[in-house]
A and B are shown apart, each in its own frame.
Chain A
Amino acid sequence: MSAEGALGVVLVTGVAHYLGAHLAGVLAGDRRVGRVLGIDSLAPPEDLRAVLGGVEVRRLDLRDPAMTSLMVDEEVEVVAHVGVATTPEPGPGGRQAMKEHNVIGTMKLLAACQQAPGLRGLVVRSSTAAYGASFRDPAVFTEDTEPLELPRGGFARDVLDIEGYVRGFHRRRPEPRITVLRFAPFVGSYTETSLTRYFAQPVVPTVLGRDPRLQFVHIKDGLDVLHRSVVESHPGTFNVAGRGVLSLSQALRRAGRIAAPVAEQGLDLAAAVPQSVGGSEFTRDRLDLLVHGRVVDTRRLIQEFGLTPRSTAVAFDDFVRHHRRGALLRPDKVRAAEKLLLERVRRARSLIQDWGRILDG
């Protein structure tokens, strides 16, 4: 449970993206960690390079055969597999490329891990999307809940495949400790994900007649859990989410956004058009979330890690504070309107009473 001795080499995947880059940066600053190798098929963008100070960045695809020799030659001790794509990258390939990266990439990474004799730990970023979405689901998912049916969304399917391969790896190599972290959607002040872009629109499409329960996790808490999973020993599968729940309509109101309800069939159609041929960023994963919502139990995380992530409402408020610009309905304006209305009504009522008195007298 507690911190173990010094770690040698840690490999972090997906360092061209926010989460991977920040995790690698935090690990590089941790005295318990020897070296941090960061890999990604893309070069990290300008704004992430500052974070990657002490990290040895290699431009390498997970499917590259050189992965195995990297793992063996560098004597990697812990692998943090964070580079899992949640939505298709814009550009050619689309969903197919995303699946290739997520599923085949993870398979190859695990194959390389199996060759690495010194491997002591594996940390995998998963998602609460692994629980699928159905109206017959229980209201709250615990880590032991099995999905009732195969989800329709591409990301959710990828996540199920990835977790399946990780279980297979564990059967073949039982000695490295494996931590699977099922994250709720990330929010935070500066993180940008497709979900935060969704909430940042002034008018937001929702599903008619549905008000799903949502949970978020603050990106800093997510990083904290990832960091501790790498340097400490916490084997098992854990839900990582902020306590409490926001309903979608409530979240939109807090963000000052206007909801535009659309029939589910309409959104399903929109989700069917791939982004590469002019479709929106809207996917079936998103649609399932907007219809069914998703709430998870986090007691296991709190007990094992001894930390309580920021609540969903607090995490979301942090996001709202940094996205004031698109807000149409701001709380101060609503409050001012309330005051004005109250004054008007009172004046009107007193006028009527005065008239009444005059007529009586």
Chain B
Amino acid sequence: MADTGGRGLGPDAEPSAGPGPVGDEWDRRIVAGLAFLRERLTGDYAVDEFGFDQHLTDGLLLPTLRQLYRTWFRVEVTGTEHLPDDGAALVVANHSGTVAMDALMLGVAVHDEHPARRYLRVLGADLVFRTPGLSELMRKWGATLACNTDAERLLRAGELVGVFPEGFKGVGKSYFERYQLQRFGRGGFVAAALRTGTPIIPVSIVGAEEIYPKLGDIWPLARLLGTPYFPITPTFPWLGPLGLVPLPSKWLIEFGKPIEHCEGAEAADDPMVVFNLADQVRETIQQMLHTLLERRPNAFSD
């Protein structure tokens, strides 16, 4: 990712003594914006082997999502001191909201609220990578397929990896089951952590449940479209495209204390160890959710 810099004009490198307000705040923004466009147009940036495009993430995706993060969901974050400054860690969070907006907001939280400004490499369902458009954007954002090969490769490379073990069972659950953690699948994430010897950081996300409250499900339509569900929310599909606007719920994200494990790599093949550790992570997240919920007077407070 290093060869993107250096060749840009940069705010100071522009010697042009042309007329006008050179060097003020807006001028700097215009210079940076034009340099960004030029670097995009000439392909002058780097993409990693998973397709993560830091140039696009910094220049376009993060600034866009940041608006949503700050002004729409008013996200408050605690416990960032539990994230390591460097080296690998597996960030495990609850999943909700009908549309997996929580994966994106968690990425903004990790990048913006932690001093090391790290990127969260989230693992996504194969549906994401089957869908044109979405697959392209998510790879550029740093996501990759949720499989053990990719997870372990990222962890061995010292990355922060984000995982949502509930999968579609979590995102697609009905509004009436909100904040009740679903089953944690086969615990593949635990095996990846054991094999690579990385700490597991539990995370609770409060607020995503209310963005698209899923009241019902037209499953024949879902089967027709090949999606896991076809949601009915208070606004969708009644209001058409307007129904796609998420409700402005108040979000709280808490990073918990890393869960230590000292079983070693061999334990990754022991189902007992894997399930026990997965249960421990699940219970920690569930408890953190309850305490967080008490801190929020109502779902749409300031």
Contact = CB atoms under 8 A, between A and B. Distances in A.
Interface in B115-154: 126, 129-136, 139-140, 144-145, 147, 149-150, 153
A213 B49 contact: yes
Nearest to A296: B49
B47 A342 contact: no
Given A346-B18, A349-B26, A338 B38 contact: yes
B20 to A, nearest CB: 3
Contacts of B37: 338
A350 B149 contact: no
A235 to B, nearest CB: 25
Interface stretch (B27-35, B165-173, B196-204, B241-249): B27-35
Give the residue among B20, B34, B44 with the most A Cβ atoms within 10 A: B20
B38 A209 contact: no
B58 interface: no
B51 interface: yes
Contacts of A353: 20-21
Contacts of A207: 132
Contact of B42 (A245, A295, A334): A334
Interface string A210-227: 110100000000000000
B40 A253 contact: yes
Residue of B42, B45, B139 with most chain A CB atoms under a 10 A cut-off:
B42
A347 B41 contact: no
Contact of B49 (A145, A264, A295): A295
B72 interface: no
A201 interface: no
B53 interface: yes
Interface string A272-293: 0000000000000000000001
B236 interface: no
A191 B172 CA distance: 51
A341 interface: yes
Interface centre among B22, B47, B145, B149 (most CB of A within 10 A): B47
Contacts of B26: 349
A139 B145 contact: yes
A251 interface: yes
Nearest to B31: A342
A247 interface: yes
Contacts of A172: none
Nearest to B133: A209
Which residue among B34, B45, B136, B150 has the maximum number of chain A CB atoms within 10 Å of its CB? B136
A293 B48 CA distance: 13
Contacts of B149: 138-140, 145
Given A247-B51, A247-B53, A342-B30, A211 B42 contact: no
A264 B135 CA distance: 14
A247 B47 contact: yes
Interface string A313-350: 10000000000000001010011001101110111011
Contacts of A347: 18-20
B43 interface: yes
B41 A346 contact: no
Interface in B41-69: 41-51, 53
Contacts of B9: 338
A346 B145 contact: no
B126 A253 contact: no
A149 B141 CA distance: 28
B16 interface: yes
Contact of A253 (B42, B46, B48, B136): B42
A213 B43 contact: no
A253 B134 CA distance: 21
B34 to A, nearest CB: 5
Interface string B1-18: 000000001000010101
Interface in A119-176: 135-140, 145
Contacts of A313: 46
Interface string A199-210: 000000001111
Interface string A97-125: 00000000000000000000000000000
Interface string A242-257: 0011110111111000
Q: Which 3 A-B pairs give the minimum distances between C-beta atoms?
A: A209-B132, A346-B20, A350-B20
Interface of B: 9, 14, 16, 18-22, 26-27, 30-31, 34-35, 37-38, 40-51, 53, 126, 129-136, 139-140, 144-145, 147, 149-150, 153
Given A140-B50, A347-B19, A353-B20, 14 more contacts: A135-B145, A138-B147, A140-B153, A209-B131, A210-B135, A213-B51, A251-B43, A331-B44, A334-B38, A338-B9, A338-B35, A346-B20, A347-B18, A347-B20
7 contacts: A135-B135, A139-B153, A211-B51, A213-B51, A250-B45, A334-B38, A347-B19
